[in-house]
Amino acid sequence: MRTDVLISGGGILGSFISLKLSEVGLESIILEKNKPNLAIDTNIRTITLNSNSVKILDDAGVKTPSAEITTMKVFDGEGSGNISFKADEIGQPFLSKVVLFNDLKNELHKKTSQYFRYEKMIDSYEDNKNIVNSKLN
């Protein structure tokens, strides 16, 4: 098989890279060492995204439920100092958004599933100037 880019790992980052590559016309293949399965566990992990990350995902059509953080209060360990941040003070609707890890992973996977090759890993590779030959196991 031939491809422009070979991506090792089909998590959030591997899927996102593949999605962005497809937007600029580059073909990718995502190698995932595990069997296919959508993340369906208890959704106890979250990711907090800054406004730039939210915009990048929105622009790519990646939509997941989220909770906006509009105020943040930070205290030091001894309680003698603190600082707060408010979205409205900087003219923004939010400071960040929190999404469930599995929701984001699954949404990205839906958009890139055609690029996945499961139970595959790069065993070795050889760099021949402009072409890299990879051996998979």
Tell me the per-residue pLDDT of 16-40, one tens digit each, with 9 for 90 and over: 999 999 999 999 999 999 888 766 6
| Cα 103–chain centre separation | 11
CA 104 vs CA 29, 34, 87: distances in Å: 20, 18, 24
Q: Which residue in this structure is represented by tokens 């909770």?
A: 67
Least confident of 21-25, 40-44, 110-114, 119-123: 40-44
Task: State residue 41's pLDDT score.
Answer: 65
Contacts of 137 (CB under 8 A, 6+ apart): 120, 121, 123
Q: Is the pLDDT of residue 119 over 70?
A: yes
Cβ 70 vs Cβ 86: under 8 Å: yes
What's the pTM?
0.83
92 Cβ neighbours under 8 A, 6+ residues apart? 51
pLDDT at residue 37, as a whole number:
74
